[in-house]
Amino acid sequence: MKSKDLVGELANLLELTDQEVSDMLSAFNSMISARLIDNDSLYLQGFGQFEIKKKAERISVNPINGKRYLVPPKLVPVFKPGTTIKTKLKELSDNE
């Protein structure tokens, strides 16, 4: 699903204009980004948790020339699905 499709479906469900839904999603994105930048996690009941994890320093190998190089540590955003989503996905996989 693309962003335009999501905005259209939410606009129909919430009986709002596409612009209002787009503004709400933009504000939601900004809020999540601000929380993660402040190294704070965000938990949405039944949906999941957004948080920052630190990836450790590691050694990588270039497959073309075999040269090894050091990849520095970095912070990455992570989403952990909540139990509601996990349960629904499990039901889907059980029905197939």
**CATH number, position 11:** 4.10.520.10
How high is the pLDDT of residue 90? 87
Range of the domain at 28: 3-95
* Mean pLDDT, contiguous 10-residue spans, the chain (96 residues): 90 92 93 91 90 94 93 94 88 78
How high is the pLDDT of residue 26? 94
How high is the pLDDT of residue 65? 93
The Cα–Cα gap between 35 and 42 comes to 7
For the chain, the domain total comes to 1
How high is the pLDDT of residue 17? 92
Residue type, 27: A
How high is the pLDDT of residue 69? 93
